[in-house]
Amino acid sequence: MSGNKTFTMIKPDAVADGHTGAIIKMIEEAGFKVVAMKKTQLTSEQAGQFYAVHKERPFYADLCRYMSSGAIVPMILEKSNAVADFRTLIGATDPAKADEGTVRKLYAKSIEANAIHGSDSDENAAIEGSFFFAGTEQY
8 A C-beta contact, residue 108 and residue 98:
yes
Q: Are strands 116-118 and 73-78 parallel, antiparallel or unpaired?
A: unpaired
Interface with ligand ATP, residue 118, by CB under 6 A: yes
**Torsion on CA atoms 91, 130, 52, 75, rounded to nearest 10:** 30
Active-site hit among 12, 66, 117, 132? 117
R_g of the chain, CA atoms, integer Å:
14
Q: Please tell me whether residue 79 adopts helix, strand or coil conformation.
A: coil
DSSP code for 77: E
Q: Which of 10, 14, 27, 63 binds ligand ATP (CB under 6 A)?
A: 63
Tell me the window of 21-29, 31-39, 72-80, 116-124 that interacts with ligand ATP (CB under 6 A): 116-124
Interface with ligand ATP, residue 114, by CB under 6 A: yes
Q: Which of 78, 85, 112, 122 binds ligand ATP (CB under 6 A)?
A: 112
Determine whether 54 is an active site residue: no
Q: Which residues bind ligand ATP (CB under 6 A)?
A: 54, 59, 63, 93, 111-112, 114, 117-118, 120
